[in-house]
Structure 1
Amino acid sequence: MELHCDTCGQVRTFERPPCPDHSPANRADRACTGCGTVVAIAPVILLMDRRPRVLLRRPSHRAA
């Protein structure tokens, strides 16, 4: 995966670093192959507007 490395100042290849503590292989960490800077890549989260919708209604003109 190629990303911009802030330390190197250019686009570099990022790979999953070796894991000494045997944590799961599906980690999102990637390390720059040039300088070794590690970045955590977060999954894309789709945010939904869960507020209740407000319906605007015209006032009814009823005869009293």
Structure 2
Amino acid sequence: MELHCDTCARVRIFEQPACADHPRASCPDWACTACGAAIVITPVILLMDRRPRVLLRRTARRAA
């Protein structure tokens, strides 16, 4: 995969290193083959509740 390397300041080839401590078969890390700088590429998942918020307020009871 070709990505821009900030350390080299140019487009370089990135490869995934071997990862023994990660539960999946491949690591989310990618390393520049020229200088070894690493980046993490993971999908950004935003879980947002789109339901309208309901505020529940207790009204103070007035003593009559």
Shift of 1:47: 5.6
Shift of 1:44: 3.3
Equivalent in the alignment of 1:35: 35
Equivalent in the alignment of 1:3: 3
Aligned pairs for 1:1-64 within 5 A: 1-19=1-19, 21-23=20-22, 24-45=24-45, 48=48, 50-52=50-52
| Number of positions where the alignment pairs a residue of Structure 1 with one of Structure 2 | 52
Q: Which runs of 4+ in 1 moved over 3 A?
A: 46-49
- Unpaired stretches in structure 1, ≥5 consecutive residues: 54-64
Q: Calculate the TM-score normalised by the size of structure 1.
A: 0.62
- Unpaired stretches in structure 2, ≥5 consecutive residues: 54-64
Q: Distance in 1 between matches of 2:26 and 2:50?
A: 30
Q: Tell me which amino acid in the other structure corresponds to 2:16.
A: R
Percentage of pairs with the same residue: 63
Q: Tell me which amino acid in the other structure corresponds to 1:15.
A: E
Question: Over aligned residue pairs, what C-alpha RMSD do you find?
Answer: 2.2
Equivalent in the alignment of 1:59: none
